[in-house]
Chain A
Amino acid sequence: MAYASSHDDQEILARLRAAGTKERAFRDLLDKYSERLYWHIRRMVLSHEDAHDVLQNASIKIWKGIDGFREDSTLYTWLYRIASNEALTFLDQQRRRSLRTFEDFEIRMANKLVAEKGFNPHQAEWRLQHAIQSLPDKQQLVFQLRYFEEMTYEQIREVTGTSVGALKASYHHAVRKIETYLKEEKPL
């Protein structure tokens, strides 16, 4: 996957910081990243409606936080950090709601996946999605960023704030679990 050229991001960032060009630059930023952020969130929360809501909240936080962005990380990983945190918060809220209603969160998420249009339990891509859902949230996030977004561990470190060593171990466990899951060919 091609990464955003940092030159473009620097230019967008400069325009975002100038009052006169802020709104236009924000649109350009969303033009560039919204679809990728949408798919990143969608893979975590599964349903389109939830992904759209989470992305909206993330966009508002990006707009509000851009003035305070200190460039400790790249703009690209900063955006992913906000999107990931929003998705994790959303999942956490859903999990707590499930606890209150005595509903099994994992079953609920699996049902969401099965209810997706075009779902095919025999197709490898869907089986992989199901396997990813069985991972703990943080492991899931690391796997998504490494496998789908093809981020380097250093970039994932910027997104998650976890050390590279811990990330490697996390990714290793995630892949092992997914591999076992796919080999077992459990019925979905």
Chain B
Amino acid sequence: MASENEINRELKELNSSLSGISRRPPFERDQDFLDKLSGSLADSVRQNIQTEKKLETKRNISFPIWARGIAAAIMLMIPGSILYRWMNPETIERKMSRELRTLDAGSIENYLQQNSLEVDESGVSKLVAETNQWQANDEIASLSPDEIENYLKTYPPFEESQN
């Protein structure tokens, strides 16, 4: 491996081979541009920094912690409640039964047809029967014991009235 002195001597020789070539860059010099260079650079740096600061300020606009908490809770509650309403099968079942209870047989049939649900006649009558049963249960549940007694007297159970 060459010593440092050798390298230095070699470099001197190599440098001398380039010595006839000017070290001034051959590119065209725009003196007007060069005269204004430092000023325009300082201005563009200032503008850049100001723009960055503005953007940072916009990003950092802060709300009190309680406001952020409320916003987060609302943001979580809205999709949460939607999910709960639409994804919870029990809720859907309850909703369906509530809707069905308000419908008569004809409306149920229309509903099934509109929604292209294929239920045969026996299915429809079963639905209607169940709906009536729910209605009856609801009605009975809202009555007092005396009223139930009167009700049973007025509308005796089927087997009793047969007898």
Contacts and interface: CB of A to CB of B under 8 A. Distances in A.
B21 A26 contact: no
B102 to A, nearest CB: 66
Interface in A104-136: 116-118, 123-126, 128-129
B22 interface: yes
- Chain A: number of interface residues, binned into ranges: 35 or more
B48 A125 contact: no
B48 A60 contact: yes
Main secondary structure of the interface of B (DSSP, over half): helix
Interface residues of B, number: 30
B123 interface: no
Interface in A21-69: 23, 26-27, 30-31, 34-35, 38-39, 42-43, 48, 55-56, 59-60, 63-64
A35 to B, nearest CB: 6
Given A23-B46, A27-B42, A34-B41, A124 B21 contact: yes
A27 B44 CA distance: 12
Contact of A63 (B10, B14, B34, B49): B49
B24 to A, nearest CB: 8
A178 interface: yes
Interface of B: 4, 7, 10-11, 14-15, 17-18, 20-28, 30, 33-34, 37-39, 41-42, 44-46, 48-49
Interface of A: 23, 26-27, 30-31, 34-35, 38-39, 42-43, 48, 55-56, 59-60, 63-64, 116-118, 123-126, 128-129, 147-148, 168-169, 171-172, 175-176, 178-179
